Amino acid sequence: MSSIKRREFVRKVVAATSMAALPASTFANIIIPQKRRLGVALVGLGYYSTDLLAPALQLTQNCELRGIVTGSPSKIPIWQSKYGIKDQNIYNYQNMDELANNDEIDVVYIVLPNSMHAEYSIMAANAGKHVWCEKPMAKTVAECQSIIDACQKNKRYLSIGYRMQHEPNTQRIIKWAETKPYGAIQSLSAEAGFYNGSTDHWKLRKEMGGGAMYDMGVYSLNAARYVTGEEPIAVTAEHSTTRPEIYDEVDETTTFKLEFPSGAVANCKTSFGANLNDLKVNCENGWYGLSPFQAYNGIKGTTSDGIKLNTPIENEQAKQMDDDALAIINKSEVIVPGEEGLRDIRVVEAIFQSAKTGHRIII
Ligand code: NAD
């Protein structure tokens, strides 16, 4: 039975029990949730919501898809028939503030172009909803701070959609930042990119927060930060392009070097012109790496002494959303808070400044 059908079946069985006693065997393979699942509304029904998040929300245990916010009326019947979303849980960008009156929605997940993250995250927080915001958190540090402030003012949780920090193999090397099983980290390389064949998309527009650095470069940057457990103190960066007719506003390729207080150096690259997905960490007494390190599945790697880093995970997005929902339910800390998104954007601002001026920028 597909997970969607299974969830519908579970609902029906649970409803039926209030009317008639069923034999215990009926429930043999059904896990009835102990806690109330949180209701999630997705804002922006583009690629990531459609292909990854909505399907993942059919696998989650602690939250479920209950609402949508869209500017495209033609998508509504498709999403309703696929996911059974109620009429009263459907909003557009103009009436999204009315979510304040909807108790079925606990969390609003912002999956919009990067330039819109701040405005809609703040709107969601002001409507009294917890906020999950996609990476990159926003275009500027000031915007990131305004999201954090709005969530704090409304006493709402805020998580940034850095799914890798929820993934078990990544979590293992994040721990090594503290335990240092191979000694001090001396250098690392982190490369994240894909060949983007688009010629007309918001990811090519500067005002929308387009470009490789915001889109994929934050994976390299975030990895450099979580692998070392340190904040960079200086950055040197350069942009380049092989398709200047397309990349006339935003970066196609950015290379950047980060210097950390311990002396570790990260050589990073991001591109919309090449498929890149590799993380390698060189230490005093060995090395380790993940390749791929930011794919949707199959994160795997190894170490200099042959340890396999290949713990499987059913679905990264489901794990991320379940972790974030559980933090809200248990009133515990989230894995990737707003401050984590802001720290990346602080470095991104320095990267852009370095690429523009040709100078090494002290952060
Ligand atoms: P997309 O272009 O496919 O979807 C964007 C959605 O926003 C569309 O539904 C579009 O209709 C809507 N939209 C509303 N106003 C718009 C406007 N003025 N201009 C353009 N679109 C507008 O983009 P996507 O790939 O789904 O990315 C959305 C967000 O998700 C981005 O922040 C991106 O970085 C993030 N993302 C994260 C991951 C991840 O692995 N965590 C993967 C992909 C995308």
CA distance linking residue 45 with residue 76, whole number of Å: 10
219 annotated active-site: yes
Q: Specify the ligand 1 atom closest to the Cα of 163.
A: 41
Distance in angstroms (rounded) separating the CA atoms of residues 132 and 307:
34
Residue 43 CA, ligand 1 centroid: distance in Å: 9
Answer yes or no: is the C-beta of 114 below 6 A from any ligand 1 atom: yes
Question: Which listed residue (120, 129, 135, 257) is catalytic?
Answer: 135
Res 5: pLDDT = 45
Are the CB atoms for 80 and 89 separated by under 8 Å?
A: no
- From the CB of 135, is ligand 1 less than 6 Å away? yes
Lateral strand order in the sheet of 234-240: 308-309, 301-303, 286-290, 273-283, 185-195, 265-271, 253-259, 234-240, 361-362
Q: Please report the pLDDT score of residue 36 as a whole number.
A: 83
CATH 3.40.50.720 residue ranges for the chain: 38-163
Which pLDDT value is given to residue 18? 31
Ligand 1 atom closest to Cα of residue 75: 9
pLDDT in tens, 49-89: 999 999 999 999 999 999 999 999 999 999 999 999 999 99
270 lines ligand 1 (CB under 6 A): no
Output the CATH code of domain 168-312+338-362: 3.30.360.10
Among 120, 157, 214, 219, which one carries the catalytic annotation?
A: 219
| CATH 3.30.360.10 intervals, the chain | 168-312+338-362
Ligand 1: centre distance to CA 246 (Å): 19
Place of tokens 């940057």: 221
Q: Which pLDDT belongs to residue 33?
A: 52
Q: How far apart, in whole angstroms, are the C-alpha atoms of residue 16 and residue 291?
A: 48
Burial classification of residue 324, based on how many CB atoms lie within 10 Å of its CB (0-12 exposed, 13-18 middle, 19 or more buried): buried
The pTM of the full predicted model, rounded to 2 decimals, is: 0.92
Pairing between strand 185-195 and 234-240? unpaired
Q: From start to end of the chain, where are the E strands?
A: 38-43, 63-69, 90-91, 107-110, 130-133, 158-160, 185-195, 234-240, 253-259, 265-271, 273-283, 286-290, 301-303, 308-309, 361-362
Assign domain 38-163 one CATH number from 2.60.120.10, 3.30.300.210, 3.40.50.720, 3.40.30.10.
Answer: 3.40.50.720
Token look-up 């933090």 returns: 327
Q: How far is the CA of 202 from the centre of ligand 1 (A)?
A: 8
Active site residue 247: no
Say which residue the tokens 């515990």 belong to. Answer: 332
SS3 at position 77: helix
What separation in Å is there between the alpha carbon of 172 and the centre of ligand 1? Answer: 30
d(CA 284, CA 181): 10
Residue nearest to atom 21 of ligand 1 (CA): 113
pLDDT at res. 35: 55
Taking only the tens of pLDDT, the chain with its 363 residues reads 444 444 444 444 333 333 333 333 333 344 435 458 999 999 999 999 999 999 999 999 999 999 999 999 999 999 999 999 999 999 999 999 999 999 999 999 999 999 999 999 999 999 999 999 999 999 999 999 999 999 999 999 999 999 999 999 999 999 999 999 999 999 999 999 999 999 999 999 999 999 999 999 999 999 999 999 999 999 999 999 999 999 999 999 999 999 999 999 999 999 999 999 999 999 999 999 999 999 999 999 999 999 999 999 999 999 999 999 999 999 999 999 999 999 999 999 999 999 999 999 999
Q: Return the CA Rg of the chain.
A: 22
